[in-house]
Structure 1
Amino acid sequence: MANTVNESRAAEREESSTGGLRQRIGGLPVVSQVVDRVGQHDDNLMGYALIAPWFLWASVFLIFPFLFALYLSFHEWAIISPTKPFVGIEHYVSLFTGDLFWQLLKNTLYFFLVNVPTQIVLALGVAVLLDRIIRGRALYMAGYFVPYVTSGVVVAVVFKWLYAPDGYLNQVLGVVGTEINFLGSQTWAMPAIAMMVSWKFIGYYAIIFLANLQSLPENIYESASLDGASEWQQFRYITLPLLNPSILVVVILSTITAFQIFTEPFIMTSGGPNGATKTFVLEIYRNAFSYLEMGYASAMGVILAAMIFVISYVERNYVDQEVSV
């Protein structure tokens, strides 16, 4: 028994002396720098390991396709042809000097100006109403979100029937003695498609706004109420500034959607009437797979990507503001 006690005491003294020696060695400036560098190296390796899957996905589906499109934009390629002759900036010159590019830009900007503000205002209104609902909120959220998860082709086919001369909307308008050829009119075709796209995405953007609304601190509104601020003043001077992060996300996402619209005009109007609903992605598809002009289509794609990047950058600098709570 005494031997066991002595052995345990000796082990404790040895461990204490070893721990003290380690602390003294670790306290040396040189050793401490080495330990810090090793720790930082481990953190870097962990960071690289975590972003590696995303970087692999982005390399395969984003970076490589863009670089390949950029390469093809300076070459002539008919997809089925094994050769890709170099043509320089011929495709870009043809785009900027032709009428097609400016028509596409006009149509896209028109769609952008109609669609983006409509989506933001309606989605924010829906989010504010959902934020005030206590019972059955999840059910309403699901109802507004259903159009977003519904296939774009299905939605386009349904609205094509609704917009038809003998469709439901014109039957309702017929009660007041009028009729609108929504998809056959150069005036109404693009606004009709824009309204349909807004209806489809409102639920998705409303969920983004709602998540931000529910994260806002209640004490700010209580203080504002005590100071005599009305509900509109609270919304204007408190809620809107604090919603800047979600507003920025919605603005950029809706901008990308507006510039990349394809399914709706392809299904509903095929770019008509008289080119009123032609879009960049629709013409990229036609040039690449119908006319087999992959180089020309790639040049259009590169220009479209550049425009989206520039507009998103401007929006970020204009909308994004840091608000302190």
Structure 2
Amino acid sequence: MRDTHSSVIERKPAKKKFLSPDALWAFILLIPLLLGIALVYFSALFGFAMSFTSWDIVRKAEWVEMSNYRTMIGDELVWKAMRNTLFFLLITIPAKLVIGFFLAVLLNQKLRGIQLFRLTYFFPTACSVVAIALVWGYLYGANGFLNQILQSFGLSKVYWMDESHAMGSIAIMTLWSGMGYIALLFLAGLQNVPPDFYEASRVDGASKFQQMWKITIPLVTPTTFFILVTQIIAAFQMFGEVYLLKGPSNSTLTIVQYIFKEAFQGFRMGYASALSYILIIIILIITVIQLRIQKRWVHYDL
């Protein structure tokens, strides 16, 4: 009798590949990004370790424990830099929010050539910080354009970049240069408000002011929250404006500029690293507080 089992051909299961060709290509394309992320984390950990040392790049780093952090408590320039940074934060951000919102309302009108106006207001944002500082440096000069206008009306010169006026002058420059970006974000938020809400409110007899207060402002709070978070971080990181257009006697010194001076002019890398981590902690605390309280005033629907 014929053995039926002998006619069955046994097939070994195919070995599964560890990565499919598509997954392999995806991993290869992600390698530059992964290397960049790894470099960022390595730099952060290296900087944290450096903050406990005294290192001038040339000589070997010396472990000083918490000495750098104790030194900054009594460093008057640290407190001056923080006061200047808070000045920019408290003055420019509310002004940007208010002016940017109402500018966006104007740019949201359906008028002929409104795209040209939107481009005009956004143009300063596309310019480099260097170009903006050079132009405003000319405007603020002792014989600059602004003083020429004042003198044409019989008024005396204003020394815009002296110790008492420099902070306000730079604040005006940053307000002008960043207004287009803020207005553009608010404009996007306004255009995302459903028109049905306005139609229903008109039927109920709501005025323009009531529509603004009850519909527009609440529904652009997500945009306001995003602008608030990003602009606070940007204010703490302000460097280019005060580096290029700085006042005398550290009158416009900011915390990031002080970190730069300590690291690359004084070559106190350990102390600069400690300042950097204090700045990171401050920004982190403010951001966490904003995320916690945003549920109370940010509305995604009416």
Partner amino acid, structure 2, of 1:179: K
Partner of 2:209: 232
- Between the aligned partners of 1:171 and 1:260, the Cα distance in structure 2 is 34
Contact kept? 1:244, 1:319, Cα under 8 Å: no
Task: Map 1:82-101 to 2 at 5 A.
Answer: 83-101=60-78
Does residue 163 of the first structure (1) align with residue 140 of the second (2)? yes
Contact kept? 1:248, 1:316, Cα under 8 Å: no
1:181 pairs with one of 159, 162, 167: 159
Partner of 1:192: 169
Partner of 1:30: none
Q: Which has the larger radius of gyration?
A: 1
- Between the aligned partners of 2:104 and 2:133, the Cα distance in structure 1 is 25
Partner of 2:262: 287
2:251 pairs with one of 259, 269, 276: 276
1:306 pairs with one of 261, 274, 281: 281
**Greater helix share, structure number:** 1
Does residue 57 of the first structure (1) align with residue 36 of the second (2)? yes
2:192 pairs with one of 188, 212, 215: 215
Q: Give the C-alpha shift of residue 283 in structure 1.
A: 0.9
Does residue 247 of the first structure (1) align with residue 239 of the second (2)? no
Partner amino acid, structure 1, of 2:212: F
Q: Give the C-alpha shift of residue 322 in structure 1.
A: 3.5
- Between the aligned partners of 2:97 and 2:42, the Cα distance in structure 1 is 33
Does residue 77 of the first structure (1) align with residue 55 of the second (2)? yes
Contact kept? 2:78, 2:258, Cα under 8 Å: no
Contact kept? 2:85, 2:236, Cα under 8 Å: yes
Does residue 202 of the first structure (1) align with residue 179 of the second (2)? yes
CA deviations over 1:33-71 (Å, ceiling 9, x no partner): xxxxxxxxx9xx99x9798865543332x4332222111
Q: Give the C-alpha shift of residue 268 in structure 1.
A: 1.1
Q: Give the C-alpha shift of residue 219 in structure 1.
A: 0.6
> Scaled by the length of structure 1, what TM-score is found?
0.79
- Between the aligned partners of 1:205 and 1:55, the Cα distance in structure 2 is 32
2:113 pairs with one of 136, 142, 145: 136
- Between the aligned partners of 1:183 and 1:277, the Cα distance in structure 2 is 10
CA deviations over 1:81-133 (Å, ceiling 9, x no partner): 3x211111110100012212211111111111111111111111121111113
Note the aligned Cα RMSD (angstroms).
Answer: 2.2
Contact kept? 2:108, 2:190, Cα under 8 Å: yes
> Scaled by the length of structure 2, what TM-score is found?
0.85
CA deviations over 1:261-281 (Å, ceiling 9, x no partner): 111111112xx3232210111
Partner amino acid, structure 1, of 2:89: F
Partner amino acid, structure 1, of 2:216: T
Distance 1:313 1:54, change over 3 A: farther
**Identity among equivalent pairs (%):** 34
